[in-house]
Amino acid sequence: MAHTSNGRGRPTGGERSGGTERTRGGKRPHTQHGKHDRKDSRRRPLTARRMVSARRRLRSEVPSTVAVLAGAEDFAAMQGYASFTFDDHATYMRQMEGLLREFAARGTHTSVTLFDPAGYEEFCTESRLDPDTPASRTRYTAEVAAAGTKVTYEGQPLARLLPRLVAEAEQQATWEHASALLTRGDCDSCGEDIGRAAFARATALLRRIIEAAGPGSHHLVCSVPAEGPAPLVAVLRTESRDDGLLHLGEAAALLFCTVLAAGIATNRPGGVVLRSTPPGGRDTVRGWNLKHGGRLHPLTEAEVFAAYCTDARTGDPAPPEPGVDYRAGLPLDD
C-alpha cells in the first residue's frame, strides 16, 4: 500500500510491521475486506429468535377487530353452540376486556364492534357454513361485523365503551331504515322526487324550530312510526348564541332530518319535541305533531304536559319534572 507524506519524510498513513499495516494507536484500520464481512453478515439468514421478534413487530402493525356480545340475550343465544364454551356473560366480558388490554399492550390498533347472533346465523346459512365452529365466527367478524359500526379501543373499560357503541349502531340502523323509506317514497309517475323534496322540507323545518327557540341549549327529539314495535327516533343537541352562531353535530343533524323527512314522505303521524335551556332561565318543553303535507302543527300546553307526564310503557300518569315549564309549540310559518 502506498504511503502519503506530510512533507517532512514521515509517513502519515501508518507503519508496516510484520506485513500488517497499523495506525499510530496500534489499531488495525478498516479494510475493504472488513466491509465485505459486515455486508455478508447482514445477508445471513435470520435466527429463530430474530424471526419471532420480526413477527411480533409486524403483528403490532396489523389492525384487529373484536366483535363483542354486548347484551345478555345475545350471549344466551350463542350458548346454544357447543363450540362456544363460556358459561356466563360476566366471565365472558372479563375475558374480552383482558384480550383488548393485551392487544393494546402490543401496540395493536383494535376496533370493537357488535356480534349479532341473528345476523351470524343468516351469514352462515347464506355462506353454507357450520355455525358451530370458531372458524365460522371468525369469518363472520372479518366479513360482516367489521363492516358495521366500530369504536376504537383506547384502553377505556368496556362498561364505558359499549354504551357508546350500541348508541352509534342504533343511530346507523335508524339512518338506514329512514333512508330506505325515503327511497320508497320516490314517485316517478308524478315527475317529482318525493324523497328529496321531503328532505329539503325537513331541513327547512329544523332551521325554523331552532330560529324560533332563540338563544340557549336545545335538545330535540323526532319520532316517526315504523315497521316493527319501535319507532324511528333521532336526537339532536344544538346551542344557539346571542351572536347568531349555531353549534350542532353534522351527523346528528343529518339523522334528524332524514327521520323527519321519512315521516313527511310517507305521511306518517310523527312528532317533534323541543327542550330548551335559555341562558339563566328554566327548562322549557314544547312539541309539534307531524301532519299531512309535511306540516308541524303546534301542540297545546295541555297536550305537551300530557305527553311528557305519561309513562310511555304503562300509559299511567307520571309526576311532572321539577324546574321544567311545559309550553305550547311555537308556530312555524311557511
Q: Are residues 199 and 320 in the same domain?
A: yes
pLDDT at 52 over 80: no
* Domain span holding position 123: 55-156
Residue 74 located in a structural domain: yes
Give the pLDDT confidence score for residue 45 in this predicted structure.
Answer: 58
Q: Are residues 130 and 221 in the same domain?
A: no
pLDDT at 53 over 70: no
Give the pLDDT confidence score for residue 244 in this predicted structure.
Answer: 63
pLDDT at 34 over 90: no
Bigger pLDDT: 6 vs 58: 58
Give the pLDDT confidence score for residue 13 in this predicted structure.
Answer: 45
CA proximity to 174, closest of 237, 111, 261? 261
From 111-125, 134-148, 228-242, the region with the lowest mean pLDDT: 228-242
DSSP letters for 185-237: T-BTTTTB-HHHHHHHHHHHHHHHHHHHH-SEEEEEEEEE--SSSS-EEEEEE
Give the pLDDT confidence score for residue 8 in this predicted structure.
Answer: 42
Residue 40 located in a structural domain: no
Q: Are residues 134 and 66 in the same domain?
A: yes
Banded pLDDT at 12 (limits 50, 70, 90): very low
Average model confidence (pLDDT) for the chain? 81
Q: Are residues 203 and 271 in the same domain?
A: yes
Q: Are residues 151 and 230 in the same domain?
A: no
pLDDT at 162 over 50: yes
Give the pLDDT confidence score for residue 137 in this predicted structure.
Answer: 95
| Contact criterion met (CB below 8 Å) for 166 and 174 | no
pLDDT at 168 over 60: yes
Residue 29 located in a structural domain: no
Q: Last residue of a domain, which of 156, 178, 205?
A: 156
Q: Average the pLDDT over 172-177 and give the result.
A: 89
Q: Average the pLDDT over 293-298 and give the result.
A: 90
pLDDT at 236 over 80: yes
* Number of compact structural domains in the chain: 2
| Contact criterion met (CB below 8 Å) for 91 and 48 | no
Q: Average the pLDDT over 38-58 and give the result.
A: 56
pLDDT at 324 over 50: yes
* pTM (whole model) above 0.75: no
Residue 79 located in a structural domain: yes
Q: Are residues 219 and 304 in the same domain?
A: yes
From 77-86, 95-104, 126-135, 188-197, the region with the lowest mean pLDDT: 188-197
Backbone angles phi, psi at 267, to 5 degrees: 55, 45
Burial class (CB in 10 A: 0-12, 13-18, 19+), 156: middle
Bigger pLDDT: 90 vs 9: 90
Q: Average the pLDDT over 194-204 and give the result.
A: 90
Q: Are residues 198 and 294 in the same domain?
A: yes
Q: Are residues 205 and 152 in the same domain?
A: no
258-293 per-position pLDDT tens digit: 999 999 998 888 999 999 998 888 899 999 999 888
Q: Are residues 133 and 231 in the same domain?
A: no
Q: Are residues 237 and 322 in the same domain?
A: yes
Instruction: Give the Cα separation of 137 and 78 in Å (integer).
Output: 10
Q: Are residues 230 and 278 in the same domain?
A: yes
Give the pLDDT confidence score for residue 78 in this predicted structure.
Answer: 96
| First-residue to last-residue Cα distance in the chain | 99
pLDDT at 227 over 90: no
Give the pLDDT confidence score for residue 80 in this predicted structure.
Answer: 93
Q: Are residues 198 and 306 in the same domain?
A: yes
From 34-38, 89-93, 127-131, 281-285, the region with the lowest mean pLDDT: 34-38
CA proximity to 257, closest of 223, 298, 206, 212? 206
Give the pLDDT confidence score for residue 312 in this predicted structure.
Answer: 61
Q: Last residue of a domain, which of 134, 156, 178?
A: 156
Banded pLDDT at 157 (limits 50, 70, 90): very high
pLDDT at 218 over 80: yes
| Contact criterion met (CB below 8 Å) for 241 and 257 | no
Residue 214 located in a structural domain: yes
CA proximity to 264, closest of 234, 224, 212? 224
Residue 187 located in a structural domain: no
From 27-36, 72-81, 117-126, 324-333, the region with the lowest mean pLDDT: 27-36
Give the pLDDT confidence score for residue 95 in this predicted structure.
Answer: 94
From 32-41, 106-115, 244-253, 318-327, the region with the lowest mean pLDDT: 32-41
